[in-house]
Every structure is written in structure tokens, then in C-alpha cells.
Amino acid sequence: MKKSSDRPDMAQFHKLLIAGGLLLIMFGTGCVSIGNGAGRMQITDDERFIDSMGRDISTADGYETVVSLYSAHTENAYIIGAGHKVIGVNSASTFPPEATDLPVLDYRGDPEPLIALKPDAVLTRPNTDMNYSDYIKAIEKAGIQVISLYPDNEEDFDTYIEILGMVFGTEEQASDALEDYHSRLDAISQVSGQVDEQEKLTVFFESTKAGYRTVTTDSNPARAITLAGGINLADDVKPVTKGSTIAEYGIEKLMVNSDRIDVYVSQRGGMNGGGSLISIPQREGFSAIKAVQDGNILEINQKLISAPSLRYDKGVMQLARTLYPWLWDALSEYDIPEPISRETYAELMVKVTGTPFFVPTSTLYYEKEHKVHTYGMFDDVRWWDEDFDYIETAVINSFIRGSRDADGTEHFDRMSPVTRADVAFTLFMLLELETTERSVEIGDLEGCGDPAMVQKLVDAGIMDLDEMGNFNPDLPVTGQEVLKWMALLEEDSLWAD
């Protein structure tokens, strides 16, 4: 007897169902999980390349105005010195900060606003190319060159950056940026290499909170764990769909391995990110996970750890700092008898507190008013500066303050020496000070910008006065003095959590 499922119409129906189901899964998992590459990019000669969708593209005439519909393309364009040629971006392009001033285009909507910009080319990725084909076709019909790029693996990344260099005519800068990028990754790898095998920590990487998914072993986050000197707990997983970097893990396996997880890393941002520092410990059963018990949870921005970006080394670095702070946040270099600058102080404070680098995750970040400081808006601290992350993190976490003019321009004043007033601010912000009975008379209290803070620190015996009874708020402090204060605080267990 023939079973009903063997009938040709039913078999066809089942195929349709499977195809539909797969499509649903693909959409459900969000952009980061879909197989990103339709094909491999290839440079065919000095002025020609094949993009990820198989388009044969010439750069002979050059592209002077380009719209980027993928945040990684936007970042990389700026990093290879082509930011001035980018004239429009997608809403997720929030780095560098100046990209947020550009017109925002939405490939899920009407293509007319993009066409009206009349760019020479539009940079996108296969994911968008395939899922929003009507939008892409409309652009191509308007005579605009569409270039779809996505490196499917580590090997393709260099080709991808080289092609970006060809598109923008900044081949040399692209080559230099790649060289620097690899040097930075090598440097991290070398330092991480100092960790003994027995001391290596095991990491679980949560890519999406839905189903507690992780990443495939050939993905950027998995590679980052290795580069940072960690062990990836999920070393035997399979992609949710072919070509995807997202892999199933699930609550059962997490619970079985709960005592093996030293550090729990959650990818934030994007459509379906992982959980937060607050929500993860609150999940049912998660208190059994060693990393949760020890408070070793790290939120990391998807753009730094998963995306094909020349900023990827920052994600790796962040992971390495979390795993082995003793390797990365050593303080001996600040043990100097000379006054230190505000930029050095910012770096020191981020290290001494072990604070993860701040990176905005919300695409709405720049739409909101930020009273303390807006990321990337100091006129003397730019995103390409080596100490950018330290200064931004120190200010966002209120370890040190910048200043703001009446017109809103922000300055950090990086080279000025750090003063006793600056240190008083840091200490007051970090400590949970209680008002004491003691009230020391401070001669120059009125000249202190934050008299209440200074008074409480002096009353608590944490900062002292000179022989004349003055606080001397503007007096520069040395690296050794700063370390002395920090050591004193650590000994007294006065750290704020």
C-alpha cells in the first residue's frame, strides 16, 4: 500500500513546507545568522573585481560618491581614508561618529531617497542583495553601480579590504590599514601566548538570547576567543543553516557544562543579540553557571566581535582584557615620579578599575541628548587615536570629566596634567563615602570646583592638606601619587562594585 506521503503531490508539498520552514528560520535568526556570502569575492586585475554576488565590476572610472548600506562597510571606508566619499549610510552605521551626520537610507523602504542622492555606487552585502532584491534592482535600474561584498571567512577579509580600497581609490591606505590591523592582532596573540595551557579560561559566547545560541568555530567570535587565549566551550557545534555563523547550543548543554564556564560573553546589538549583564544572572537556572556566580559576564558589541571590521582587534582586545587582566591592565608603567597627563590618567583609571571599553550599542544613541558626554564628540580626541577607547570609557564612566562650551563643543584637554581636583572627583565617584563627624577647615575650599567632594574626602582622611591647610586643587599629581591612592583604596576594600 502506498503511504500518503509517498504521493508525488504530497512529496512536493513537503518540500515546499521544508523550504518555507527554512526561509522562516533564516528570517527569524536575523541578519547576523544568515549565510552571508553568495560567492567569493575575487580581484581579477588592478581595475576589476568580482563581488560576492558575481558582478564583474570595473574601478577604472573611480567612484567618488558612495552610499554604504552596511555598517561594517561604513567603518572600513572611514578607516581606509575614504570617509569623505561616503554620502549616505544605513541606520546601523553609527561608527565613526561623523557617519551619523550623513543621510540615512533604508533598504526596507522606498529606493527613491537613495536614487535622489545620485551616488556613483552603492555598497551592500549579499544578505541585503538577496532579501531586498526589489530595492537593489531599482537602484541598478537607475544606473547606479551596486557592489555587494562580504568576506565569508578570515582568508577573504584581506581581499575584501583590498576591494574596498579599489572602489574608493584608496588602495595604499587600505593596504596600510590591513598591515596595522594584522600587527595589532599579532601583538594581542603574542601577549595571550604567555598564558599557560592550565591557566586558560573557558568561554561561552552567547550570540542570541533566543535559544541560547552560540557561534560556529570558524566565526569571528570563536577566533577571537582563541586569539585572546581562551578556550571556546562550544567547540563542537554546527551552524543553524548552511553558511551561517550562528550555531545551536541550548539551555540543556549550558546547564550540563555550567561549572566549566569561566567567562560568559554576550554579544550585544544587532537584531537578535544576547542578554545583558542584568538579565543573564536573573534567568532560570543560570545561577548554576560558574561565570555567573563569579560575576564574570562580559557584554561585547556585535560590531567589534562579529562583523568584518578593521575594528575587530578592539573586540579581541576587550575579550583578552576580561580573561587575563593581569596581562593587559598592568600598572607598572604608571609608577613614575613625574606628573601624568589627563590622557594617561584616563588609561590608568580604565585599567585599574578593569572597566570594559564603552561602545554605543543602540542605533538611536546619537538621537538622544547625553548630558555627561556624547561618545566620539571631543574635538581633541578622535576615533583614530590609539587611546580613544580609554578616554571615552573613562569619561563615560565618570572617572574624569571633559568640558563643554556654550555651543556644545566638547574638549578633553588631553595633554594637561591631571590635578588633585581631578583625582578628588574620581575618588568621590568611585567610593561610597559616608558623612563623618569630623569637619576639617580647608583654607582654599572656595577655590575648589567641587567643594562638597573635597570636604568629604579630606574629612574621611583619604586626601590631605598642605601645611597651610590648603587643598591645592590645581596642583598636578604624579603617577606614583595616583597609584598610592588607588592602592590605599584597594587595601581598604573601598571599591565601588
Partner 1 sequence: MTDAITGLNQDGSKMLNKVIHLLDRKGIKRMKRLLLVLLIMASLVLTGCSGINSNTDKKALLVVSFGSSFVENRKASIDATDEALHEAFADYDLYTAFTSEIIIDIYKERDDKHYDTVEEAIERIYKAGYGHVLVVPTLVINGDEYDRMIEAIEPFEDKIESLVISDPLLTKTTDYNRVADALVSELPDLGDDSAVVLMGHGTHHHANSAYPALDYTFKHMGHDNIYVGTVEGAPPFDEVAEDIKIGGYEKVFMLPLMIVAGDHAHNDMAGDEGDSWKLMFKSLGYEVDYELKGLGELPAIRDLFIEHAKEALEEESY
| Binding-site ranges for partner 1 (CB under 8 A) | 208-212, 272, 275-276, 278-279, 282-284, 358, 370-373, 396-398, 401, 425, 428-429, 432-435, 450-453, 456, 496
> Exposure of 165 by Cβ count < 10 A (0-12 exposed, 13-18 middle, 19+ buried)?
buried
Provide the sign of the torsion angle of the four alpha carbons 414, 419, 423, 426, taken in this order: negative
Query: What do you get for the CA distance between the two ends of the chain, in Å?
Result: 71
Q: Residue 439 Cβ, how far from partner 1 at the closest point, in Å?
A: 12
Q: Rounded distance, CA 390 to CA 350, Å?
A: 6
User: Closer to partner 1 at the Cβ: 429 or 440?
Assistant: 429
User: Closer to partner 1 at the Cβ: 85 or 401?
Assistant: 401
Q: Rounded distance, CA 353 to CA 495, Å?
A: 9
Q: Rounded distance, CA 207 to CA 225, Å?
A: 13
Backbone angles phi, psi at 41, to 5 degrees: -75, 155
Q: Rounded distance, CA 290 to CA 287, Å?
A: 8
Q: Residue 307 Cβ, how far from partner 1 at the closest point, in Å?
A: 22
Q: Residue 354 Cβ, how far from partner 1 at the closest point, in Å?
A: 12
Grid coordinates of 450: 567641587
User: What residue spans of 107-170 are helical by DSSP H?
Assistant: 112-117, 126-131, 133-141, 154-168
User: Closer to partner 1 at the Cβ: 373 or 414?
Assistant: 373
User: Closer to partner 1 at the Cβ: 170 or 397?
Assistant: 397
Q: Residue 265 Cβ, how far from partner 1 at the closest point, in Å?
A: 17
User: Closer to partner 1 at the Cβ: 114 or 395?
Assistant: 395
Q: Residue 209 Cβ, how far from partner 1 at the closest point, in Å?
A: 5
> Collapsing DSSP states into helix, strand and coil, what is residue 435?
coil
> Exposure of 366 by Cβ count < 10 A (0-12 exposed, 13-18 middle, 19+ buried)?
middle
User: Closer to partner 1 at the Cβ: 48 or 366?
Assistant: 366
Backbone angles phi, psi at 266, to 5 degrees: -120, 125
User: Closer to partner 1 at the Cβ: 157 or 390?
Assistant: 390
Q: Residue 210 Cβ, how far from partner 1 at the closest point, in Å?
A: 3
Q: Residue 29 Cβ, how far from partner 1 at the closest point, in Å?
A: 10
Largest Cα–Cα distance of the chain, in whole Å?
A: 106
User: Closer to partner 1 at the Cβ: 351 or 401?
Assistant: 401
Provide the sign of the torsion angle of the four alpha carbons 168, 174, 177, 178, taken in this order: positive
User: Closer to partner 1 at the Cβ: 196 or 437?
Assistant: 437
Whether 158 and 80 have beta carbons less than 8 Å apart is answered as: no
